Amino acid sequence: MIIVTGAAGFIGSNLIRGLNQRGERDIIAVDNLTRADKFRNLVDCEIADYLDKQELLGQLDRYNSVKAIFHQGACSDTMETDGRYMMENNYRYSLALLKHASVYGTRLIYASSAAVYGGSEHFVEELRHERPLNVYGYSKYLFDQIVRRRLPGMSSQVVGLRYFNVYGPREAHKGRMASVAFHNFNQFLAEGKVRLFAGWDGWGDGEQSRDFIHVDDVVAVNLHFFEHSERSGIFNCGTGRAQPFNDVAATVVNTLRRLRGEPELPLAELVAAGLIEYQPFPDALKGKYQSFTQADDTQLRAAGHTKQFATVQQGVARYVEWLWQQR
């Protein structure tokens, strides 16, 4: 048996599909369906049972012989200001699962976040580079520190994966926290153009850069560690390659143009035609915004994950084609 928390969410539901594809069916899906529309993410997934996230905490002792817990559940809203809620939902819940793993020897593979690096210029899994800018990042940061402290005494695998900017199918329910690619797609269909932030803090128009990773690649990293129970630790889960928001927008627009039978255009021509437009950088985000992220994948590669990651041009194009088919 396998437990997946956040099962109806973006990464959780894609992970269940990945587990299904490798023959795993005995899966307990755990989530909070207060927002009921998330159920759609589970319709084509094969699971053995569903539990509300609070039910699981009350029944954890029943699940003392599970193969692994994939803990994907969390509030991922980086603009959330209720620190008490964030710490209870992200930090305390994770602690309960870690305690269970310690007592029963259950393997725990959990979602951390690149938000722990905050304003850092170096994205290496070391304490000196970890400077969260918001309470979401802090909730992940604090749990990572507890894991580091307890790892030497654990008898079973514990893996924390610091997700960078994940995009791909099954994220529509995330609303404003959905990926840039998702919002670019919908904005272009609605308005005929994509709006990006203008230059700020030394970056040119649309040149702020992130490590964008397709959810299929994230699933592959999770399954790599599932297949290698002897490997524990905290690892970056990103491509190791930063690309500008301009690349995302241009790929979205050009993929849609191609699907409509129109020619693809270079960035300069997309801007000149008003298909990509820049707006002033918002004051509310100044000092709280990561203008650059790029995973150092040294430790991930040393742990044996050799699969190549999709570029923005490859992954976003594939995602836009999927979104186009869902309309």
* Cβ-count burial 234-260 (b if 16+ within 10 Å, e if not): bbbbbbbebbbbbbbbbbbbbbbbeee
Give the chain's length. 327
Count the Cβ atoms, other than its own, within 10 Å of residue 316: 30
Q: Please choose, from the candidates 69, 143, 146, the residue with its C-alpha nearest in 3D space to the C-alpha of residue 108.
A: 69
CA distance 70 to 111: 8
Using the structure block, give the residue that is written with the tokens 């894991």.
Answer: 147
Phi, psi of 144, deg, nearest 5? -60, -40
Q: How far is CA 211 from CA 95, 97, 144, 304, 325, in A?
A: 28, 29, 21, 20, 26
Helices (H), 4-127: 10-21, 53-59, 83-86, 93-104
Q: How far is CA 216 from CA 184, 220, 237, 310, 325, in A?
A: 20, 6, 12, 9, 18
Q: How far is CA 171 from the centre of its chain?
A: 10
Q: Which of 53, 67, 174, 193 is catalytic?
A: 174
Report the amino acid identity of residue 160.
G
The β-bridge relationship of strands 209-210 and 243-244 is antiparallel
Contacts of residue 301, Cβ cutoff 8 Å, sequence gap at least 6:
none
Q: Which of 93, 136, 163, 319 is catalytic?
A: 136
* 136 noted as active-site residue: yes
By CB atoms closer than 10 A (0-12, 13-18, 19+), residue 102 is middle
* 174 noted as active-site residue: yes
Would you name the residues annotated as active-site residues?
136, 174
